[in-house]
Structure 1
Amino acid sequence: MNRGAEVTAGDIARLADVSRAAVSNWRKRYPDFPKPVGGSMSSPTFPLDEVEQWLEANGRMPTRTAVDRLHLVLQRASMDTDDAIAAIVRRLSDAEARTGPTAQAVAEILAIADEIGLGAVQEALATRFVDLRDRRGAGGRSTSTEVAALVAELAQPQGATVMDPACRTGVLLHAALTRRAARVVAQDADDDLVAIARARLASVDGVARVEVRRGDLIDDAFGDTRVDIVVSDPPNGGGWPYEELAGDLRWEYSLPPRSEPELAWIQHALARLHPGGHVWMLLPPGVAERPAGRRVRRELLRRGALRAVIALPTGVTAPYNMRRHLWMLRRPEVVDGPQAVLMVDAEQPWPEAAEIIRSAMRAHRADSPPPDTVGAHAVRLDPVSLISEDVDLTPSRHVSGAHPAHDFTQVSATRTRLAAMMSALPETLPPVHTRRSSRDPVADTTVGDLIKRGTLVVLAEPGAALHVGDVLISSTGPRPELLVVDDTDDGRTLDGRHICLRSNPDHWDPWFLVGCLGSAANLRRVVSTGSIPRIEVRRARIPSLSRPEQHLYGEYFRRLREMLAGLQQATALGEEFVEMTVGGLLAGTLDTDG
């Protein structure tokens, strides 16, 4: 910060990651604490440069990443609101507008951009914007980067023109640009979202042409434009301007009902494609089954427009409390008729689910059924079988039972594996003992304090190299994943879905940290309560035990996690055995022992 800036006690508390009461105590206990230079008796202000020097000299300045410092700039400039962040973003992309009341904040943010790159700063600002909008329920949610990357991979946008007619913050088009789309065009009805998306897309290296405008279903900013690919995560729920657009020529597959805005967005996207172009659209699961939309769904099938419906795992993209469907559609050629439809039900952990989807789509593009490796999760159907009375396109209702029943040899082999796994479980169960002696309660401290002291380091920037003994924590909840990096992952880089805690081996046992962080008490502290549960690991509390005691506890925690992993594997295999057996009994390939 520049010399001359002033901060309140609340600002100091945020700067030092402590409570305001702690700041009040410092003022009373330490004569050298900076004196007020302004404000009022009830809310004095202090010289920021002196405050930072005092915090550094007394070991109370926390280690902060560039993104942490960016958030502090916003807070100090009183610009930590969604509309203020959008204003900052506009100024960052306009050199002639870097004057006025936000000039100081813009200059500081540009200095951070010099360190980590303008693209990283734009991404951090967009993330903060979405988080703030989400907290006040203003519709700022954004597609997750993992899902956006998969959509871009499946869409194959290299050299193509790609459109998003309801772009939000531009996540999907950003992923398309990283896969060398030649041109991207986007619109959104929200001016602030347009500003965020425009800045985010402009920061991608390359020679692609980028156009982001204000627009919606009524005032279409690209009504005369035809593109190769449409990717979108359009607004869900509510209604759409039915009366104003009832006679529009875009409704080739029947007029969407008043209560089905998603079916209007689907047809809008198809109308903006060249013949043979594809749509990849994220939709709520109700679009596949609601009675009001069955006429449109039937027409999409009958004319060969709908090509795939993919059910993603729960919690991989916003809103995180439900599964989302990814529809793939194709603008038919003149002679096109009904086409085979791929159904995928991928309710597995994300890496496994993504690979199932890739494998099934590769086979579908080759006009082949899904390979055996994903046959339990995907099926390729004749559209005639889908054009029933309800026209229900929910993947789970078609994938289940679409494959032949397992024979006796397969079921028997699975039973043998399950019996062996269950017989090994008692050996993994650690013993428990009552305490043989009493001891005083153990003092504890927060992870934030340990970071300030230097015994723990937090790494959050993607791309950082991982070392053996690092502790990985997923950055979103509701129950964070906790891992210890071993020899197999040494040197791997940190991804955007995790943060890393690195400890001095002389201070902290990694398995002890994992056990503490995963406790019920700490989960209540670190998981935020928003619709996107975020992990604030600095709030976690760690008992202050000696290194030998930590090792004993850590080894026990490791054994508990191994036991839990064994139980989960046995449960999964047990469910598979039950499903195989029931299917075989009903199909007549198996018999009971009676």
Structure 2
Amino acid sequence: MTTAYQGQLSLKDIAELAGVGRPAVSNWRARNENFPSPVEDSPPRRPLFHFDEIVGWLEKEGLLPDDWKTKATNVLVSAAINPLTTNSGDNTGAAKVALAVLAAYKNASENRYDFLPDASDIHASLEQFLKSLVPNIISSAQLEALGESITSIPTAALVTLVHGLARINDDSYGTAAQMIVEVLFGNAGRSVFGHHTTSTAASTLMINAASTTTEAGATVFDPTCGLSGVLLGVGSRVDDSTVIGNDLNPDSVSISMLRAYLDGVEASFTVSDLLVNDPQPGLQADTIVSEPPFSLRLGSEQFESVAESVNALLGVKIPPTVAGDVAFLTYPISHLSSEGRAYVLTAPSLCSHPRLDEFRQKLVARGMVEAIVQLPQKLLTTTSIATTLWVLRAPDQSGNPAPVLLADASNTESPEEHIAEWLTAMRNGKTTTIPTGSLSLAEMVTTGSNLLPSQVLAQAPSSEELLDDFNDAWADLSTTADSIKAVLPTGKPEAGEIPTASSTESITKIESIARVSTRSWANDEKRPDDTISAQLATRRKNKNPVEVFIKTDAQTLLPGDIIVPLMAPAPAWVFGNEEGKWVAPPHAFVLRVKDDSFLPAYLVACINAPFNAYDDGTRIPRRRLSEIKIPLLDIAEQKKVVDVIEPLQQLSQQAEQLAAQSEASTSAVANLIYFGADI
């Protein structure tokens, strides 16, 4: 007899299941005593609830949509694997087991419900059930490794996984597999597997780009396939394709094999270090896609192998420091068919590294580079590193290579949605929505071998622009210089006119100064239910604010509040009269004067004064409010101090502006020297 299914849902999952927003679910939970209780021992900040209890409650309350089963794949998968995310420290093993269970269910077809064991024999029964995957889907060695992962998963989590995944519809296995990978590897970024997250903008961009030249019957190859999101994405779009993947990591390949089966894509995989042992020595592929690791440091054996292959291909020597990047860029070229294309994602340094001038010239001279697209930062998961997409082809034997097509998408949003449009337009000689152009071998010889699109495509300013910049810069400089004259003190105050204090007090002990808490949440999913939006004063004078969420009854900043950054080098400042609700940055103290005994401007001057400089021995010391001393003056004396200090502060701000405008004027003069021959 099987146990009742106890899949677990988060608040977000429940909202998706019911077709409402997360706050609505929180309201149901708060206002209905019969709302199901969280699973025992689930995280308090991310409570989980039993799947069947939630479905039963929603159905009883008339809140369960009629068509929920047709849209419930994501929720069903979440319910099945949520316990794994909290109980297993081995996401790799958990992913392999989850995908293998799905694959076994697909392989068993309509008989899959015959396998729903009790907790008493779940581990042994599952290992026996998964033997059906050998040898057509995975190998016996991979099955043995699966057995080790199964034993490491707690019984309750394994029961939930097995029973939950049995509910996935026959036509949803591929979607379920993708979600398992996203949930278990979504924040892994670039790691030992290469790219864990298969739904990132980068992977979508690669799929859309490669699809522009991949036709029916094509051979598609990924030499650094990772978990094969890109490889299978391209292969699934093409009829009668031959799909081949390779990766250095055996676990990565195991997951890829299971995903291929679940996606319905026939594919073969190898495990090999392509830098020393070519896994496909005779392959000539029509499409090659690759998201290799960046800046990989090579061992001596790897470097010798790479140096030899690059020299054979181009007749050039390469420096060891960039040999890894060069190897991953050139390897696909030797495996392309005559009309094939390779799409390789690299760091921008390959386009401009000074020690690769000859390397780039040889690539272009032999017609191996069709296009380079410079992409925006933060395209990859968990890193802001910039990237470029190289579109490569087999060597041109004509001796008259076509110019390299260049596109600068570094300042665009969602390039993955437009990459196919850009590449198609560039190939057809049409204009695009981003800066594009081309560079011939002759131009490279005369102007240098830099292939970074943003630099090659940079337009020289026109005569009108040069003159406008020159005149505007000097006009701004003159205006600021005049305004400085207006705030210059007319004379030095006498030292005897500056009030002096006979005593000081710690700012934390002054009763008329209170500390204010303005806690906020930037993450919409983790914020409490009774919150509203507010702005966050992230920098002095509220520059570059961002929207956050605060409790409905939370304190917000008032004019005159003092913002004291936690980091000692950053100056304190007085919050002004800004419209809307504002809260302080997360790493700052907020002080408020409760009566008229202190002027906020005076307190800020004291906090920023040298006598309150603080050093705790670290590189960037952190302030302690208890260490801040305030000289005690009456309000009239404080006003005298502020009257002296405020013009000096204004002068300092004007001086900063003057320095920036002086630099702009200097640049305008330099540009006239360089570009102004036609004026």
Give the TM-score category using the shorter length. 0.5 to 0.7
Q: Give the CA deviation at 1:185.
A: 0.9
Deviation digits for residues 451-503 of structure 1 (CA, Å, limit 9, x no counterpart): 999xxxxxxxxxxxxxxxxxxxxxxxxxxxxxxxxxxxxxxxxxxxxxxxxxx
Contact 1:242 1:258 in 2 (8 A): yes
Give the length in aligned residue pairs.
Answer: 426
| 3-state SS, counterpart of residue 361 of structure 2 | helix
Aligned pair partner of 2:374 in 311, 319, 337: 311
TM-score by length of 2: 0.51
Q: Which residue of the partner structure matches residue 550 of structure 1?
A: none
Q: Is residue 2:168 matched to residue 1:113?
A: yes
Q: Give the CA deviation at 1:543.
A: 3.4
Distance 1:115 1:226, change over 3 A: closer
Q: Give the CA deviation at 1:188.
A: 0.7
Residues in 2 aligned to 1:66 and 1:166: alpha-carbon distance in whole angstroms? 30
Q: Which residue of the partner structure matches residue 270 of structure 2?
A: 213
Q: Which residue of the partner structure matches residue 91 of structure 2?
A: 82
Aligned pair partner of 1:342 in 405, 408, 417: 405
Q: Which residue of the partner structure matches residue 243 of structure 1?
A: 304
Distance 1:35 1:377, change over 3 A: closer
Contact 1:157 1:176 in 2 (8 A): no
Q: Give the CA deviation at 1:378.
A: 1.0
Q: Give the CA deviation at 1:312.
A: 1.1
Q: Is residue 2:74 matched to residue 1:67?
A: yes
Distance 1:250 1:156, change over 3 A: farther
Aligned pair partner of 1:257 in 319, 325, 331: 319
Q: Give the CA deviation at 1:82.
A: 2.0
1:292-441 equivalences under 5 Å are 292-318=355-381, 320-351=383-414, 355=418, 357-358=419-420, 360-366=422-428, 368=429, 370-371=430-431, 374=433, 377-387=435-445, 391-401=449-459, 405=462
TM-score by length of 1: 0.57
Q: Is residue 2:274 matched to residue 1:198?
A: no
Q: Which residue of the partner structure matches residue 172 of structure 1?
A: 230
Distance 1:334 1:257, change over 3 A: same
Percentage of matched positions with identical amino acids: 17
Q: Give the CA deviation at 1:163.
A: 0.8
Which amino acid is the alignment partner of residue 289 of structure 2?
V
Residues in 1 aligned to 2:12 and 2:189: alpha-carbon distance in whole angstroms? 22
Q: Give the CA deviation at 1:81.
A: 3.3
Residues in 2 aligned to 1:236 and 1:394: alpha-carbon distance in whole angstroms? 17
Contact 2:410 2:454 in 1 (8 A): no
Distance 1:47 1:586, change over 3 A: closer
Q: Give the CA deviation at 1:50.
A: 9.8
| 3-state SS, counterpart of residue 265 of structure 1 | helix
Residues in 2 aligned to 1:304 and 1:442: alpha-carbon distance in whole angstroms? 60
Q: Give the CA deviation at 1:140.
A: 4.3
Which amino acid is the alignment partner of residue 171 of structure 1?
G
Distance 1:267 1:12, change over 3 A: closer
Q: Which residue of the partner structure matches residue 123 of structure 1?
A: 178
Q: Give the CA deviation at 1:109.
A: 4.5
Distance 1:249 1:288, change over 3 A: closer
Q: Give the CA deviation at 1:165.
A: 0.4
Distance 1:82 1:362, change over 3 A: same
Residues in 1 aligned to 2:160 and 2:334: alpha-carbon distance in whole angstroms? 43
Gaps of 5+ in 2: 16-21, 42-47, 108-127, 132-146, 473-516, 539-546, 555-578, 581-666
Q: Give the CA deviation at 1:198.
A: 2.5
Deviation digits for residues 153-208 of structure 1 (CA, Å, limit 9, x no counterpart): 33334431111100112122233124315221111111222123233333335xx6
Contact 1:226 1:274 in 2 (8 A): yes
Contact 2:194 2:291 in 1 (8 A): no
Contact 2:372 2:389 in 1 (8 A): yes
Deviation digits for residues 337-375 of structure 1 (CA, Å, limit 9, x no counterpart): 4320111111333357854x5555334423x4x52x54x
Residues in 2 aligned to 1:274 and 1:292: alpha-carbon distance in whole angstroms? 30
RMSD (CA atoms): 5.3
Contact 2:341 2:392 in 1 (8 A): yes
| 3-state SS, counterpart of residue 313 of structure 2 | coil
Deviation digits for residues 293-348 of structure 1 (CA, Å, limit 9, x no counterpart): 33322210121111211101222334640221001111124334432011111133
Greater shift, 242-251 or 392-401, is seen at: 242-251
Contact 2:181 2:196 in 1 (8 A): no
Distance 1:444 1:520, change over 3 A: closer
Contact 2:219 2:243 in 1 (8 A): yes
Residues in 2 aligned to 1:406 and 1:228: alpha-carbon distance in whole angstroms? 48
Q: Give the CA deviation at 1:379.
A: 1.1
Residues in 2 aligned to 1:35 and 1:323: alpha-carbon distance in whole angstroms? 43
